[in-house]
Amino acid sequence: MIEERFRRLRSRAPFWSLRLHDEKRELLAVRNDTVEPPRRSVDRGAMLTAIVEGGYGYCATSDLSVAGLQAALDRAGAWAEATRGRSVAAFDPASMPAPRGEYHSLSSKGPLAGKAEIHDLLLSECRSAKVGTRIVERVAMLELVEDERVYLTNTGGAVRQRFRFTLPRARVTANEGVQTQSRSFEHFHQGGLERVTDSGFVGSGARLARDALALLAARNCPKGTMDVLLMPDQMMLQIHESIGHPLELDRILGDERNYAGRSFVTPQMFGSYRYGSELLDVTYDPLPGELATFGFDDEGLASSKVFLIREGILETPLGGLLSQRRAGLRGTANSRATAWNRPPIDRMANLNIEPGTSSLEEMIASVRLGVLMRTNVSWSIDDSRNKFQFGCEWGELIEDGRVAGVVKNPNYRGVSATFWRSLRMVGNRDTFEVHGTLYCGKGEPNQIVPCGHASPACLFSGVEVFGGE
Amino acid sequence: MKDRFFEAAQRLFGRLKAGELLLCGLSGERSDFVRFNRGKVRQAGSVEQGCVSVRLVRERRQAVATVVFSEELERDADGALADLRASLDGLPEDPWLLVNETPHSGESVRRGRLAAPEAIVEQAVGAAAGLDFVGIYAGGTLCRGFASSLGQRNWHEVDSFHFDWSLYLEADKAVKSSYAGFDWEDRAFEAKLGQAASQLAFLSEGQRTVVPGEYRAYLAPAAMEELMGMMSWGGFSARARATRQSPLLRMQEGAHLSPALTLVEDTAGGVGPAFQGDGFPKPDKVVLVDRGRLGDALVSPRSAREYGLANNAANAGEAPEALAMAGGDLDEQQALAALGDGLYIGNLWYLNYSDRPAGRITGMTRFATFLVENGRIAAPVAPARFDDSIYRMLGDNLAGLTRSRDLLLSTSTYGERSTDSMRLPGALLSRLRFTL
């Protein structure tokens, strides 16, 4: 239907496009054994974009009638004319791709479970976390998302992509006096309800409660320079903040300097700069089922696996077609928009670390003094994506090659430009896990997009570690 | 949008069955965005959007749906109502349901004088010639509406803009500035831009690096905005207090901040709507910290029912939307002299808790941050990391607050343009702990 309406639109711009998003969400949650009001939402609209020689404009509308779309296209065309000759990028309508193709999330074919069945599962997890008076909050939730995106161009491009996300979450909090500790579970992937059973969500309530109580009883994380063994659900954040953002081309080109920031990486570094130890292999990889896998980005560039860092040497930035042309560098398909109401910008999609050869046991055995850390709880990094400080929910002290007990409030800090060079061991495929975050914020106007991050456990040496107050 | 929203709501009310109650909300905008980099336009465009929330209540059960404000609003709203009815059939009673049964209607419309968007392009590109200018103009009309089948009608509409930009000298040496309000004036914008450009001279000196340790520091109002934004993440929430997750947990156990510190949720002095999402009218003020002692929490209707508290019409997130800090007796013009030797911090960036229950926060300096010697700016400093607790920064180490306060309109555009604001003074700290 949208294709038919699109065919009736007219513009004097040599290139124009329509990007339709039709997203349905349903959130089911149980908190402290009480069923929260279920929430459903529909978000549907289109962005019309016009490009003239040296000018670009967009207009987003939820009015999908032909008249509504035409009005938006006219407005986009007026913006393109108003910015002609005043743009930082040399917009070229002739160079815009006209992609054709489809993408569908992998998903089970079975019918969705009924809401009563889902609520029963959430209630069960919530109740099983009630293991004493020190447990002060228990939350279990499941979010179901179906998102259809259509991209059409006046030059014959036509892409239709259908995504399904099933997002289970749980969190348990324990308190004693002025000490509060939480443990959380998140499993953010594409797919259907099979994700709930595959993910380890079943049984998470009791497990998180045990962990939260163990943290309450634990000693504070020690302070000093030592090894850090980061498990995949913390590697996710480490990759995201100190590799993903610094490699985004729009940051390198300066677009983000007023908000999300710049990058310590410069265009000259690609091809020669030693980003990490020779054990570090980083890829942009549209793995099946990973959170930000797609067939085409939001400006129609087809996605494929690309090495960004190989054996520690920086190779390729994260940038869509326009940024690639502006910088004169190769990039990846990651020009992405949060929804129909925001224009695409460079956003990391799936950013993964390739597995190495070490088992978890070998890595632990190699540590004289260090801390194993799981599950990010705190993240802060400077606007060049260099000086960082991260904290985790869970720590385990490692002494003389053995795990020596749980520690609470584990934090570490470092500098991206040197931290990755201290990568000493990379876990094998047995330690490899696929994770993702729903909340990567960036851009003006602001946008939040999901990103996938898969990684093995990784061991770093000589890291500044510390605990809480 | 107003007439269409109320008509659509009224249409739904006419379809209700006996025993059903319906609450409808609208959040909408017609906005223009112009993004700049290196003194030229990066992306320019317009967004017209709205979402309508529909909350159906029956026999102490409730469910919520959100539909798009579009040409098919009526059809979508009918579909949502049918879905909600089906949802309620399978739900247990909601023990924390609280509905405003005392209709309190009202309307607030603030018309502004906004610049033509294309004129913004021409003026900004012209005024920024020769400058490395990067930032965003966002302006237009924001509206919030509420209607209930009990007869309540609320409307809030405002024309506003913010232009938030940075001028870069080189690498990470930059001055950040902004121009925000309701009536655009060319000369006011150009004056602000000129003022920011004149400050670039301070950045031309060689950059110094902060060695880890404790420094006397002055936090400008924009830096305080970041600190208050972090404290607002659970710090004033009734639910966070009840579940012992507030970063002000130690204040619940008797710890206190400086007696110079008073924080108020000042709805009357803000720019957002005077009603919350479920239609409860907001009080003009809620005192959150009273001369260093923990005051009232922000209590949403749901928390009020769950914890037996008086509802003060906080939104579901129980975060301030119009936070105001009382000023002190420090003359802003004398801030550098009062600082003496230390760091002048124009902006902070990327804050987070390094130990949430202990109220310890880490973050970075950003933009115009200077080493000050003998009350004079000596040199710009490279971005530095601090890690210190609320109890030290705003407790024993709070040496003064400026008399004057800045009204800081939120520049957030996540999902939609925000109507939040803060009114804050600058703060002089006798010590601030830097770590990296």
As a whole number, mean pLDDT of residues B164-192 equals: 96
Kindly state the average pLDDT of the residues A12-36: 98
Instruction: Tell whether the model's pLDDT for residue B231 goes beyond 90.
Output: yes
Note the pLDDT of residue A197.
Answer: 85
- Kindly determine whether residue A444 and residue B45, on different chains, have CB atoms separated by under 8 Å: no
- In this prediction, residue A114 carries a pLDDT of 81
- Between helix A115-128 and helix A204-217 the angle, nearest 10°, is 30
pLDDT of residue A247: 98
- Cβ separation of A64 and B364 shorter than 8 Å? no
From the list B33, B72, B360, the residue facing A445 with the nearest CB is: B33
* DSSP secondary structure letters along B91-127: PPP-TT-----S---EEEEE--BPPPHHHHHHHHHHH
Looking at this protein, which amino acid is placed at residue B154?
N
Domains in chain A, ordered, with CATH? 2-217 (3.30.2290.10), 220-466 (no CATH)
- Which candidate from B40, B65, B168 shows the least CB-CB separation from A40? B65
**Mind spelling out the 3-state secondary structure of A323-350?**
HHHHHCCCCCCCEECCCCCCCCEECCCE
Q: Are A308 and A294 in contact (CB under 8 A)?
A: no
**Model confidence at B109: pLDDT above 70:** yes
In angstroms, what separates the C-alpha of A356 from chain B's closest C-alpha?
31
Which residues in chain A are closer than 8 Å to B27, comparing Cβ atoms? Answer: none
Quote ipTM for the complex. 0.96
Give dist(CA B11, CA A461) in Å, integer. Answer: 66
> Which amino acid appears at position A209 of this protein?
A
Specify the pairing of strand B213-219 against strand B427-434: antiparallel
Q: CA B10, CA B148: separation in Å to the nearest integer?
A: 9
Give me the pLDDT at residue A437, please.
Answer: 97
- Which residues, in sequence order, are bridge partners of residue A279? none
Which chain A residues contact residue B117 at CB under 8 A?
79, 82
Per the CB < 8 Å rule, is A380 touching B351? yes
> What's the mean per-residue pLDDT of chain A?
96
pLDDT digits (tens, 9 = 90+) for B115-125: 998 999 999 99
Backbone dihedral angles phi then psi of residue B50, each to the nearest 5 degrees: -160, 150
Token digits of residue B66: 């959100």
Shortest distance between the Cα of B195 and any Cα of chain A, in A, equals: 17
Beta strands at A351-353 and B263-266: parallel, antiparallel or unpaired = unpaired
Q: In chain A, what residues touch B132 (CB-CB under 8 Å)? A: 254
> End-to-end CA distance of chain B, in Å?
51
Q: Pairing relation of β-strands A224-230 and A458-466?
A: antiparallel
Q: What's the rounded Cα separation, in Å, for the pair A349 and B206? A: 38
* Residues B327/B224, Cβ–Cβ less than 8 Å: no
pLDDT > 90 in chain B, percent: 97
Strands (E), B61-200: 61-68, 106-110, 132-148, 153-170, 173-181
* Spatial CA neighbour of B357 closest among A177, A135, A31: A177
pTM above 0.90, yes or no: yes
Q: What angle do CA A224, A229, A235 make, to 5 degrees?
A: 115
Distance to chain A for B141, nearest Cα, Å: 15
- Does an H or E element contain B361, and which? strand B360-373
Does an H or E element contain A365, and which?
Answer: helix A360-365
Residue with structure tokens 């209700």? Answer: B16
On whether the CB atoms of residues A216 and A173 are closer than 8 A, the answer is no
Distance separating alpha carbons of residues B407 and B15, to the nearest angstrom: 45
Instruction: Give the long-range contacts of residues A435-440, CB within 8 A, separation 24 or more.
Output: A435/A186, A435/A188, A435/A232, A435/A233, A435/A236, A436/A188, A436/A189, A436/A236, A436/A290, A436/A291, A436/A292, A437/A188, A437/A236, A437/A237, A437/A240, A437/A291, A438/A167, A438/A188, A438/A291, A440/A240, A440/A347, A440/A348
**Domain B2-203: which CATH number of 3.30.2290.10, 3.40.50.2000, 1.10.3720.10, 2.40.160.40:** 3.30.2290.10
User: What contacts B201, CB < 8 A, 6 or more positions away?
Assistant: none
Strand, coil or helix: B239: helix
Q: Which residue of B has its CA nearest to A182?
A: B245
Q: Is A109 a residue whose pLDDT tops 60?
A: no
Label residue A198 by pLDDT band (50, 70, 90). confident
Strand order in the sheet with A282-284: A313-314, A306-310, A282-284, A351-353
Nearest to B128 by CA among B190, B184, B84, B214: B190
pLDDT at residue A107 in the model: 74
The packing angle between helices B117-127 and B186-199, to 10°, is 30
- Which of A116, A180, A468 faces B90 most closely, judged by CB atoms? A116
- Out of A253, A258, A383, name the one closest to residue B172 (CB): A383
Q: Residue B249: which residues within 8 A CB-CB, separation 6 or more?
A: A178, A180, B241, B357, B359
Q: Which helix (H) or strand (E) holds A454?
A: strand A447-455
If you average pLDDT over every residue of chain B, what do you get? 97
In percent, how much of chain A has pLDDT > 70?
Answer: 99
> Residue A218: left (phi > 0), alpha (psi -120 to 50), or beta?
beta
- Describe chain B by its helix, strand, coil percentages, rounded to 5: 25, 40, 35
Q: What average pLDDT does this structure show over B7-22?
A: 98
Over pLDDT 90: what percentage of chain A? 96
Q: Which residues of A touch B38 (CB under 8 A)?
A: 88, 254
Nearest CA distance, B90 vs chain A (angstrom): 7
Interface test with A, best of B4, B31, B46, B163 (most A CBs within 10 A): B46
Distances (CA, A) of A201 to A124, A165, B209, B324: 11, 15, 47, 42
Q: How far is Cα B331 from Cα A417, in angstroms, rounded to an integer?
A: 42
Parallel, antiparallel or unpaired: strands B153-170 and B132-148? antiparallel
Tokens of A393: 């929910």
- What is the interface size between A and B, counted as CB pairs within 8 Å? 253
| Tokens of residue B237, six digits | 């929430």
Report how far apart the first and last C-alpha atoms of chain A are (Å, whole number): 60
Is B36's CB within 8 Å of A116's CB? Answer: no
Q: Which of B23, B29, B41 to probe the A interface (max A CBs under 10 A)?
A: B41
Q: Pick from A258, A262, A340, A388 the residue to mutate for testing the B interface (most B CBs within 10 Å).
A: A258
Amino acid identity of residue A427, one-letter, is G
Contacts of residue B138 in chain A, CB cutoff 8 Å? 445
CATH 3.30.2290.10: which residues of chain B? 2-203
- A404-to-A9, A218, A310, A460, A464 alpha-carbon distances in Å: 68, 11, 35, 18, 19
Q: What is the pLDDT of residues B379-400, one digit of tens each?
A: 999 999 999 999 999 999 999 9
Query: What is chain B's Cα-based Rg?
Result: 24
| C-alpha distances in Å from residue A381, one per residue of A51, A192, A397, A413 | 36, 34, 25, 9
Does residue A14 have a cis bond before it (omega within 30 degrees)?
no
Residue A267 DSSP symbol? G
Distance CA(A208)–CA(A231), nearest Å, equals: 17
pLDDT band at A410 (very low <50, low <70, confident <90, very high): very high
pLDDT at A229: 98
A8-36 residues labelled b (16+ CB within 10 A) or e (exposed)? ebebebbbbbbbbbbbebbbbbbbbeebb
Residues of B whose CB is below 8 A from A82: 44, 117-118, 121-122
Q: Is B207 on the interface with A (CB under 8 A)?
A: no
Contact A42 B50 (CB under 8 A): no
Q: Phi first, then psi: what are they for B240, rounded to 5°?
A: -65, -40
Measure the CA–CA gap between A160 and A63, rounded to whole angstroms: 20
When pLDDT is averaged across residues A222-236 and rounded to a whole number, the result is: 98
Contact residues, chain B, for A43 at CB < 8 Å: 51, 66, 68
Q: Measured between CB atoms, does B87 come within 8 Å of chain A?
A: yes
Nearest residue in A to B41, CA atom:
A87
Candidate from B36, B43, B383 with C-beta closest to A382: B383
Of B21, B203, B182, B208, which is closest to residue B103 (Cα–Cα)? Answer: B21
Q: For residues A447 and A260, what is the distance between their CA atoms, to the nearest angstrom?
A: 11
Average pLDDT, integer, range A45-65: 98
pLDDT class for A112, splitting at 50, 70, 90?
low
| pLDDT of A111 | 46
